[in-house]
């Protein structure tokens, strides 16, 4: 199964057995006061800097999230999407829970973008899926609904099935659906990562669709988060995750090393190229 995204001549293929696709997460004001203030002031230098820096560190796709509380996302998301696409040649991942903001940004996003996200909630399915279908975009389906994130892998698998069924029923090709099994922090529940890893395995076996994961949640509230995130990502990729939304500055090296160890980097070409561009002493 291959999810193909493109923009300005750049094509990104998400597929099992290929190198993991990195979605740069840093254009997101959550927990970043400087970026939140800049977005509120419509001062976009920092956004441009984050876009180019993430590309230099190996991002394939850039996530764009402008969710500052109180800000008019319907106006701001398309504005930032246009700006980012004018400075980098990468498909974008439009990250908003607000379907009106997605509807406003989709027409100005270049090529074939990724919509982040739909979930198993009835309202979300009804509002987001038609936008994805009409735009010919791909979509991330989160395995959660009105009741939150289910506690078991089997229940998350059922939600993945529901999203896939509803999306394909309105004509979205199954290869344009990427399932995100979500992870909670192991600081609160020591089984949190294990449940997510099991969900990846079940979704991969049953549907064969591409699987995305955000690595950062897993370590919330714990010391030395990067080490936990690195270990988790390697395990998730080994289990079948094919794309990850993360900080490329912190995690591209681990992702490249994992691809190498899984036999997805012939002659270690990508690893050596990354090493030359970002030698360890400069990381």
Sole binder of ligand THG in the list 25, 73, 145, 176 (CB under 6 A):
25
Q: If we measure between CA atoms, which residue out of 90, 98, 106 comes closest to residue 248? A: 90
- Interactions with ligand THG, residue window 105-134 (CB under 6 A): 116-117
Q: Is 214 in the site for ligand THG (CB under 6 A)?
A: yes
Q: Is 210 in the site for ligand THG (CB under 6 A)?
A: no
User: Exposed/middle/buried for 220, CB within 10 Å: 0-12, 13-18, 19+?
Assistant: middle
Stretch that binds ligand THG, among 4-12, 99-107, 154-162, 211-219 (CB under 6 A): 211-219
Q: If we measure between CA atoms, which residue out of 122, 117, 118, 54 comes closest to residue 89? A: 54
CB of residue 220 to ligand THG, shortest distance in Å: 8
Q: Is 216 in the site for ligand THG (CB under 6 A)?
A: yes
- Interactions with ligand THG, residue window 27-46 (CB under 6 A): 28, 30-32
CB of residue 178 to ligand THG, shortest distance in Å: 8
Q: If we measure between CA atoms, which residue out of 247, 250, 253 comes closest to residue 270? A: 253
When the beta carbons of 184 and 260 are compared against ligand THG, the nearer one is 184
Q: Count the neighbouring beta carbons within 10 Å of the beta carbon of residue 152.
A: 12
Q: Compute how many residues bind ligand THG; rule: CB under 6 A.
A: 15
- Interactions with ligand THG, residue window 234-253 (CB under 6 A): 245
Stretch that binds ligand THG, among 23-31, 41-49, 72-80, 159-167 (CB under 6 A): 23-31
Interface ranges with ligand THG (CB under 6 A) = 25, 28, 30-32, 95, 116-117, 140, 180, 212, 214, 216-217, 245
């Amino acid at each position: 199964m291959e999810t193909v995204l493109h923009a300005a001549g750049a094509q990104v293929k998400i597929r099992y057995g290929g190198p993991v696709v990195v979605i740069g997460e840093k254009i997101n004001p959550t927990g970043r006061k400087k970026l939140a203030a800049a977005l509120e002031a419509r001062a976009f230098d920092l956004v441009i800097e984050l876009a180019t820096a993430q590309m230099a560190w190996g991002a394939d796709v850039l996530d764009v999230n402008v969710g500052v509380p109180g800000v008019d996302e319907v106006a701001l998301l398309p504005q930032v999407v246009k700006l980012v696409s004018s400075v980098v040649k990468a498909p974008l991942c439009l990250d908003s829970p607000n379907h009106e903001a997605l509807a406003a940004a989709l027409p100005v996003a270049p090529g074939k973008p990724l919509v982040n996200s739909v979930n198993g909630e009835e309202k979300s399915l009804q509002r987001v899926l038609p936008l994805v279908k009409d735009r010919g975009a791909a979509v991330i389906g989160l395995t959660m609904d009105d009741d939150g994130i289910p506690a078991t892998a089997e229940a998350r698998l059922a939600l993945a099935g529901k999203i896939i069924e509803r999306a394909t029923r309105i004509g979205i090709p199954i290869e344009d659906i990427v399932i995100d099994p979500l992870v909670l922090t192991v600081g609160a529940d020591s089984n949190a990562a294990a449940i997510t890893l099991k969900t990846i395995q079940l979704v991969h076996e049953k549907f064969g669709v591409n699987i995305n994961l955000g690595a950062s949640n897993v370590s919330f509230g714990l010391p030395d988060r990067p080490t936990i995130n690195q270990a988790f990502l390697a395990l998730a990729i080994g289990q079948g995750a094919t794309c990850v939304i993360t900080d490329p500055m912190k995690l591209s090296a681990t992702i490249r090393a994992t691809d190498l160890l899984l036999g997805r980097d012939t002659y270690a070409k990508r690893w050596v190229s990354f090493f030359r561009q970002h030698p360890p002493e400069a990381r």
